[in-house]
Amino acid sequence: MHRRQVEHHRTQRVGWLRAAVLGANDGLLSTASLVLGVATAHGTHSSILIAGTAGLVAGSMSMAAGEYVSVHSQADTENADLKREGQELSVDPAGEHEELADIYVGRGLDRSLATQVAQQLMAHNALQAHARDELGITDALTARPIQAALASAASFAAGAIVPLLMVSFSPQSLLLPLVAIVSLFCLAALGAVAAQVGGAPVLTGALRVMFWGALAMAATAGVGALFGTRMS
């Protein structure tokens, strides 16, 4: 008996990929920029490390809180829509059946087949059918606030630890170039991996992340140097 192979599509990875890449990129870039800014302002080795560590903790908590609030708002909206849809199904099931059939007609089915499909799907699970095809809510894409918050915090911390390790093990004289070079290399690798998983050109993804990373680090280092000069 021939068993049909299960297909895996790139769009199934969009949600977690976006969150992971965004968190790691933010953690790496913001912490590296912060470290470079403090270093160019003539900060001591310990003050640079303290600033970077504080940036990691604050950034992780900020990412977690922001993602939790955002995704929880999405979850609240989904739950409100599902509650209203359930009420409509109990009050006017025939009208909801017609509405679902209209959706399938709009997607290319003829009226008789659309009516039959809507009838069978509603008999199986009416609310699920309307949630999926009318509201666009599926199990794979449903909002999970706590999961999103923890993932964002973890990915931010994973990115932020890279420049902190460089600060910890680099001599003061080599701190600036090592943090900048290693951070840019990691940003390029992150962009390349994200492009590869998402099906985009790898070189383009790497160069895009490197460009904005270099710009951010240069701007922050410039601010640190300016204030360091004025305060010295």
State yes or no: pLDDT of 160 exceeds 70.
Answer: yes
Q: Can you tell me the distance from the alpha carbon of 199 to that of 195, in angstroms, rounded to the nearest whole number?
A: 6
Write the CA distances from 51 to 38, 56, 179, 180, integer angstroms: 8, 9, 14, 16
Percentages helix, strand, coil for the chain, rounded to the nearest 5? 85, 0, 15
Among the residue ranges 29-33, 60-64, 68-72, 167-171, the one predicted with the least confidence is 68-72
Q: Which residue has the higher pLDDT, 196 or 50?
A: 50
Domain boundaries defined on the chain: 14-231
Q: Quick one: pLDDT at residue 35?
A: 93
Among the residue ranges 140-154, 166-180, 185-199, 202-216, the one predicted with the least confidence is 140-154
Cβ contacts of 146 within 8 Å, gap of 6 or more = 68
Per-residue pLDDT of 4-37, as tens digits, reads 554 444 444 455 566 677 788 889 999 999 999 9
